[in-house]
Amino acid sequence: MGRRGQQMLRFTLGALLCLSMWGVALATDAAGELPITEADRDYWAFRPIERPPVPAVINPGWCRTPIDFFVLAGLQEEELEPVGPAKREALLRRVTFDLTGLPPTPAEQAAFLADESHTAYETVVERLLASPAYGERWAQHWLDLVRFAETDGFEHDKVRPQAWRYRDWVIAALNADMSYDEFIARQLAGDLLAPDDADAQIATGFLLCGPDMPDINLREERRHNFLNDMTANVGEVLLGLQFGCARCHDHKADPISQLDFYRLRAFFEPIDLFADHPLPGVVKDGEAVRARVVRNGKGESNSFLWIRGDFRRRGPRVQPAYPRVVNEEGDEVEPGSDVTDRRLALVEWLTDPSNPLTARVIVNRVWQHHFGTGLSPTPSDFGLMGIGPSHPELLDWLSADLVASGWSLKRLHRQIVMSSTYRLASRPDTDTDRARWNRLVESDSANDLLGRGPRRRLEAEAIRDAMLAVSSTLNDKRGGPGVRPPLPPEVVVTLLKNQWPVTKDEAEHNRRSIYLFVRRNLRFPFLEVFDKPDTNLSCAQRSETTIAPQALHLLNSDFSLECARHLAARLVETDGTDHERIEQCYALVLGRIPGPAELAAAEAFLGQQPGRDDWTDFCLAMFNLNEFVYLD
């Protein structure tokens, strides 16, 4: 068993231990301070971030960015060598999907392959980062974390009519390369930073994204549960720690006490949770648009520890304070001060360069979405139950650089995708590569050392969007309320009346998947079967299942058949021979031209019964290739 396997076994056994202790009663009802030891503070995630020196390597000419020096040094310690670079066609498809969630067009492929300059790839990267599709792609990763949906969930699943504005804000912020510290600040305290700015108000929707059960008769319990949920999600998304485990008792593994949980919750205590507020300057039909955004209430904002998490058992009063394990002084924040408003104080601490978690967590998340696995494979659990990074010095170097460079996420993307490490082949192409490949697989089967490129399946949204794009049916309209395409009849019959009113404009049905209406109690079937996550829970890393319904959807669903028909029509209506059309189909669907054997097989198939139906069947078969739904 390798390093990652041993750690995963430890993680699983530890998780079972925690679950077995979940119901154990506390020795006392009153929670006290949890002792914090030097060993606690010396844990890798809680140490201050310091930029380590770039290591020396035997072959510095292979290295394009500092990332490569750290990776190559790790490989050389094990007397291993990386495989060769990916083919240019595969690299273009990889980076285009990674940065935009869409396939490269035949014109983009031709331009890249024809450009023999040393800046050809860099030009592609800059074009992709400047594309509006970049924000749409990377916003989906963030929305997974924050549990974005346009309904409340639970039994009635009530619609939140203005929730889409938060989704659009995230997309716009990422496209503008808003610095990550500002990105956090706007979402936690936009109403305080810019009270007259509608966009700043909309950004605070981050705090209200979770599920909710409106019930006037349970208002106190509802508020209690919502604040607990908000606190746990902030800790998980921004700090990579499972704060929710300390709601009822001290964390069983991490140095996070129940007091730490309620001190963090105290930063949010003044919020008026359940009122809609007018958005400054946003008017519809002559009236101000009201949305569910964050504002501080006018009443008292006393904060308490709740014994065993029970809203009926009030414990001692607490002040807002930062987790003691990463804040030796244990500073408390005075409530009500104009200078130290609670949420503004929290923002200052989260984005302070001395905070050991904020930068590490987001760097690890960005890395994960480029390589399939983070440097730490537990992206929302940097605590003792998580798994440490395979390259801790690299994680610290990138984190320190992110802060020093002004928290630019696009700069971080450039460093990653421009590296030789990112450009490695995911499968051997030559005898030399095959020999290196075999050694790497034998010595490092989990690819912890990053000696070969990643191979991973596209996410549900990318599969659907790619099918629309290659069939020329993708509607690239951006923003606005969520779209409801028609659902399969067998799904419709399970719904209550008016739960899914189909959008009347049929052209809207083929919008990018990020613009589809998100109902908590009903995931869009095509996306659900390809592992779109449950929006009741924060999802840091999607499951990647292989199940029969996936093949059935790609082969038999109305959506797949319609895309295949449109792609066939696109091919048949172009001038050229069948040979040229087959090449165009391969370029559109797989991002490459077919080999001789593939070309001969396609021509033989199409020659049996020439006509548009045969082309439809051929296109449908192309959508069902593993190569279409996987990135090499």
- As a whole number of Å, the CA-based R_g of the chain is 26
Q: What percent of the chain has pLDDT above 70?
A: 91
Per-residue pLDDT for 432 more than 50? yes
Phi/psi of residue 277, nearest 5 degrees: -120, 150
Residues forming a β-bridge with 475: 511
Q: Check residue 288 and give its pLDDT.
A: 77
Please compute the mean of the pLDDT values over residues 447-466 and round it to a whole number. 97
Task: Read off the pLDDT band of 161 (50, 70, 90).
Answer: very high
147-161, 284-298, 442-456, 489-503: range with lowest mean pLDDT: 284-298
- Which pLDDT band, with edges at 50, 70 and 90, does 5 fall under? low
Per-residue pLDDT tens over the stretch 32-72: 678 888 899 999 999 999 999 999 999 999 999 999 999 99
Lowest mean pLDDT among 5-19, 262-276, 305-319: 5-19
CB 152 within 8 A of CB 278: no
Q: What is the mean pLDDT of residues 423-445?
A: 89
| 539-586 pLDDT tens trace | 999 999 999 999 999 999 999 999 999 999 999 999 899 999 999 999
> How sure is the predictor about 315, in pLDDT bands with cuts at 50, 70 and 90?
confident
The mean per-residue pLDDT over the stretch 292-316 comes to 81
The angle subtended at Cα 442 by Cα 440 and Cα 443, nearest 5°, is 65
Query: Is residue 113 predicted with pLDDT exceeding 80?
Result: yes
**Where does residue 531 rank: exposed (0-12), middle (13-18), buried (19+ CB within 10 A)?**
middle
CA angle 451, 5, 18 (to 5 degrees): 140
- Summarize pLDDT for 602-618 with one digit per residue, the tens: 999 998 877 668 999 99
**Average pLDDT, integer, range 479-498:** 88
pLDDT at 261: 93
